[in-house]
Amino acid sequence: MQNTRDNETWLEDLRADGAKKEAALEDLHKILLKILPAALSRWLPSSSSHFETFIEDTAQETILRVIDKLDSFEGRSKFTTWVYKIGVNIGLGQLRLKKWKEVSLDKLEEGNEPDEMPSERFAADLPNPESMLERKNVIEMVQNVMKEELTPRQHQVMMAVAVQGTPLDVVAERVGSNRNALYKLIHDARLRLKRRLEREGLSPAELLAVFSE
């Protein structure tokens, strides 16, 4: 059904419960696995031993981000185009963080993909001591918030996916669940964390800024 949904149908199905939402998530996953390789192979060659895992990780994180941002979709483009742009940005962000040796920095300067991350966003390998200390303090704070705010299951999954970088399918198998159920669990956990951080006077953007200096 993924080829017959219009913008409103995508939003309706992804906001639904049960089989309708699961079908939409599965269709979205298939679409991302189809379009992301061509978009991101400019930076990480498809011949890389990391490529398949990288695409799957990017697709999973894109779906989680899309679910979180559904209310921000304004309908100015096709829904799948909006998702595509989010996926490209997430993929480039993952390449930046993992610093794959195969990544072409020259191609990052060409700027032909929508909403690309420019090459100057690739941080230096060694941040200054002040930044390192600040990051350490932020990490400790976030870990404490996670322990206090999340249920044991949410904490287990978030630590595996968000902190340790374990693929979602692997986590689902370990905890006896499935990918679609974990999408909702992670979404709910992120909302809890966001609300707690806001009560502490911190925004997710401010936390991310610590790691981009």
Q: Where do we find the tokens 């996670």? A: 146
Q: How far is residue 100's CA from residue 44's CA, in Å, rounded to a whole number?
A: 8
Instruction: Say what the pLDDT of residue 3 is.
Output: 56
pLDDT (average), residues 99-116: 44
Instruction: Say what the pLDDT of residue 203 is.
Output: 63
Residue 42 clears pLDDT 90, i.e. is over it: no
Residue 127 clears pLDDT 80, i.e. is over it: no
pLDDT tier for residue 4 given thresholds of 50, 70 and 90: confident
pLDDT tens column, 188-213: 888 888 888 778 776 655 555 544 44
Give the Cα-Cα-Cα angle 121, 207, 134 (nearest 5 degrees): 90
Would the CATH topology of 7-121 be identical to that of 129-210?
no
pLDDT tens column, 144-166: 888 888 999 998 888 888 767 77
Instruction: Say what the pLDDT of residue 120 is.
Output: 29
Please report which residue ranges of 41-167 form alpha helices under DSSP H. 51-68, 79-98, 105-108, 129-149, 152-158
Higher pLDDT, residue 4 or 12: 12
Instruction: Say what the pLDDT of residue 27 is.
Output: 93
> Whole-model pTM?
0.59
Give the Cα-Cα-Cα angle 104, 105, 111 (nearest 5 degrees): 105
In one-letter notation, the amino acid at residue 166 is: T
Q: Measured between alpha carbons, how far is residue 164 from residues 4, 47, 135, 161 in Å?
A: 37, 25, 17, 6
Torsion of CA 28, 40, 135, 213, to 10 degrees: -130
pLDDT tens column, 83-94: 999 999 888 887
Instruction: Say what the pLDDT of residue 76 is.
Output: 87
- Out of 18-22, 39-43, 102-106, which region has the weakest mean confidence (pLDDT)? 102-106
- Provide the angle, in degrees to the nearest 10, between the axes of the packed helices 51-68 and 179-199: 60
Q: What is the DSSP string of 160-181?
A: IIIIS---HHHHHHHHT--HHH
From the options 3.40.50, 1.10.155, 2.40.50, 1.10.1740, give the CATH code of 7-121: 1.10.1740
Higher pLDDT, residue 143 or 115: 143
Residue 112 clears pLDDT 90, i.e. is over it: no
Where are the domains positioned within the chain?
7-121, 129-210
pLDDT tier for residue 55 given thresholds of 50, 70 and 90: very high
Show the tokens assigned to 146.
């996670």
Q: Which fold has domain 129-210?
A: Arc Repressor Mutant, subunit A (1.10.10)
pLDDT (average), residues 176-188: 87
Residue 37 clears pLDDT 50, i.e. is over it: yes
Q: How far is residue 157's CA from residue 172's CA, in Å, rounded to a whole number?
A: 9
What's the mean pLDDT when you consider all of the chain?
76
